[in-house]
Amino acid sequence: MREPFASIREALLNARCWLVLAHEKPDGDSLGCGSALVRRAEVLNKDVIWCGPDEIPEMYAFLYGIERYEVLESVEVPKDSVVVAIDIASLGRTTELLVGENSEDVLIVNIDHHGDNTCYGAINLVREEASSVAEIIWLMYNEFGWEVFSEEALGLYVALATDSGHFRFSNTSSQTHAVAAELLRIGELDPQKIFTQIYENRPIRKMRLWGKAFIKAELHLSGRLCVCCLTNGDFEECGAKKEDTEHLVNEFLSIKDVMTAVLLVEDENGTKASIRTREPVDAREIARIWSGGGHVRAAGCRMEVPVEEAKELILKEIGAIYAERGYLIK
């Protein structure tokens, strides 16, 4: 077995308790993989804590073991446990780990596919070419010689499907499809049913919010940039929740000629920006201006200014990048 798989296997089998971490605003990848690991921990008779700093979007409520998920700002790491961080580029993006005196004893296994992962774990399994963490966990199980249970297949398939935009984003490869095919077979899963559970199960408030967002969207930079601002007032008017924006930003990238789509949402400390780009625009380069990060085609950051001000900053910075790189010339 190749490194670091051997050391991860050892860490998982030796621990008494698995502490499975999801990132803030948990998505399908984080939750689907977490669900799979919770199932595995149960089968191996391990104690398990599954947590993250934010609530789970309702559309993932059908995942195995979801009732075990806890929303925690911080968590005490039990003795003899292994921390498994999933899809988390840096530790600041998840529940704070309280470790007491022997902080060096905390064993963190970091499994991720963000190119800007800070490799904070004792063991780091970071594969940027993978469409999702699910694809990496699939590989890991194969290396371990672990057969996948049907509940795990469901979690991993949901993770793979949502992180690849249902197999349409640039991170989708033949490997992504190959793994999906295996998961469907092993779990005897119905892809149509899963699609319905995730995407055709929307509350009307979400549609109203998306409608509002479509009306408020603006085109700039000769139609190559789409920006949309959503304030707390917009959410109140629609009776919507913050989780209702998941997947919304991708819609703006479907507009003809748009190379960058930015969704700006008001939050407690200012504005949360979600950025999606087409080749050759680098979403991570933009997010980094405000200390954010992510992937080349999908990134995000927090901006400590109100949404309207954030929009002006976005226009200025992306305008400068477009001008410098000649993205405005046809």
The site for Mn ion (CB under 5 A) is made up of 29, 87, 132, 163
Neighbours of 144 (CB within 10 A): 15
Please provide residue 299's backbone torsions phi and psi, each rounded to the nearest 5 degrees: -145, 175
Produce one character per residue of 208-220: b if its CB has 16 or more CB atoms within 10 Å, e if not.
bbbebbeeebeeb
> Six-digit token pair at 136?
């990496």
End-to-end CA distance of the chain: 51
Nearer to Mn ion, 34 or 65 (CB): 34
Minimal distance, residue 169 CB to Mn ion, in Å: 11
* Between 81 and 162, CB nearer to Mn ion: 162
Q: Which residue has the CB atom at the shortest distance from Mn ion?
A: 29
User: Closer CB to Mn ion, residue 294 or residue 307?
Assistant: 294
Pairing of strands 17-21, 81-86: parallel
Nearer to Mn ion among residue 132 and residue 172 (C-beta): 132
Q: How far is the CB of 163 from Mn ion (least distance, A)?
A: 4
Q: How far is the CB of 75 from Mn ion (least distance, A)?
A: 21
Of the candidates 36, 19, 71, 275, the one whose C-alpha atom is nearest the C-alpha of residue 158 is 36
> Which letter does DSSP use for residue 91 in this model?
G
What lies within 8 Å, CB to CB, of 62 at 6+ separation is 197
CB of 33 to Mn ion, least distance (A): 8
Least distance from C-beta 150 to Mn ion, angstroms? 22
Q: Which is nearer to Mn ion, 159 or 318 (CB)?
A: 159
